[in-house]
Amino acid sequence: MKAMELTDLGPLFEALHGAGRTVVGPTVRDGAIVLAELSSADDLPHGWGVELEPGGYRLRRRSDRAAFAHSAGPQSWKPFLHRPRVKLWEADRTGDGFQIATDSPDPPRYAFLGVRPCDLRAIAIQDRVLMGGRHTDPSYAGRREGALIIAVNCTEPGETCFCVSMGTGPQAGPGYDIALTELLDDGDPRYIAEIGTEAGAAVLADLDAAAARPADVDRARAEVTAAAGRMGREMPAPDLRDLMAGSLGSARWDDVAQRCLTCGNCTMVCPTCFCTRVTDTTDLTGDHAERWQLWDSCFDPDYSLLHGGAVRSSAKSRYRQWLTHKLGTWHDQFGSSGCVGCGRCIVWCPVGIDITAEVDALQAEADSP
């Protein structure tokens, strides 16, 4: 274990940047804490927190200079690994046919600074989806394999967080190179850093960080443990897979369909949703063609479009597909839940649909005589 003072975040950033890494982390922009490329450690959201509610997000000033005392924002790390737009190939007409070229630029060497435990689990889930089967997504794999992850244990969960009931936090699980816990002393933060990999150890060795005192390590663990008792939400059902399988005919789907706009916001902000479509384009001459992979959503009627019409034409069927897959049949495909308890789908739903409340209603209906 290593202890790092606030002033060490600058050297940490410089060490990462000097190693040729693109440092991505949270920063304040356009009225939210977003993830973006950082130019220095000063870009971190020092002194900012958030207020969350179903369909609501607001920045608030804190009385300290904490850099990571905020909950999940509108973005996850997904766009940096599973890109929203990927050119698969392009073709140009030649005298005797077509010349085809694939789009395979050198991937960036990322350093992700400030990955929440829920998002760390989400990255592991996307690893399983996009790299764990017979067909690896080369774009994702190239970006993921070179990424260094600096996680931050959660000490201040938000009003819509429920990572504890999903088993994904507030303590970071496996997969990080370095895990930080932010401690506040008279408003100024300092950090306990835990090494997860040899790559993480090499970064800290370059900083010549002092060994952490046992009392500070105990305090860090105690604050993370205390955060587990302050979750804003709880996923109520003990066995989500069985509940989803047994609730396909529930009347609750009609209720939520009256509120759902099928806008797809929940799938766009979700750190594990991975659906894509492929589109082909040509220029007016027909001499140049491109194939692109684009993010898509199961809330889009065209996503299930087959000859003769859409498979899921109603809002009810599309919402049911999303929720039962996320919490139920995801287990059959990938061996885990597709939900990590980050609460983004609650916050960024325009009408404030709360996934934990919907599951609670389904459970109540299943338990009723």
| Regions of the chain with pLDDT less than 70 | 1-2, 6-7
Q: What is the pLDDT of residue 8?
A: 75
**Sign of CA pseudo-dihedral 300, 303, 306, 312:** negative
Q: What is the pLDDT of residue 7?
A: 64
Q: What is residue 175's three-state secondary structure? A: coil
Alpha carbon distance 318, 339 (integer Å)? 17
Q: What is the pLDDT of residue 210?
A: 81
Q: What is residue 337's three-state secondary structure? A: coil
Structure tokens at 187: 């408003």
Alpha carbon distance 90, 358 (integer Å)? 44
Q: What's the angle, vertex CA 124, arms to CA 122 and CA 125, rounded to 5?
A: 65
Residue 368 burial (10 A CB sphere; 0-12, 13-18, 19+): exposed
Alpha helices in the chain (DSSP H): 9-18, 78-81, 117-131, 138-145, 163-166, 198-207, 214-227, 240-246, 252-257, 265-269, 315-324, 330-334, 344-347, 355-367
Q: What is residue 292's three-state secondary structure? A: strand
Structure tokens at 203: 């970064």
**What are phi and psi for residue 322, nearest 5 degrees?**
-60, -50
Q: What is the pLDDT of residue 127?
A: 97
Q: Decide if 251 contacts 41 (C-beta within 8 A).
A: no
**What are phi and psi for residue 172, nearest 5 degrees?**
-65, 135
Q: What is residue 53's three-state secondary structure? A: strand
Q: Decide if 82 contacts 126 (C-beta within 8 A).
A: yes
Q: What is the pLDDT of residue 113?
A: 98
Q: What is residue 23's three-state secondary structure? A: strand
Which residues, including other chains, have CB under 8 Å from residue 318's CB and lie 6 or more apart?
260, 262, 298, 299, 301, 312
Q: What is the pLDDT of residue 83?
A: 96
Structure tokens at 6: 């606030």
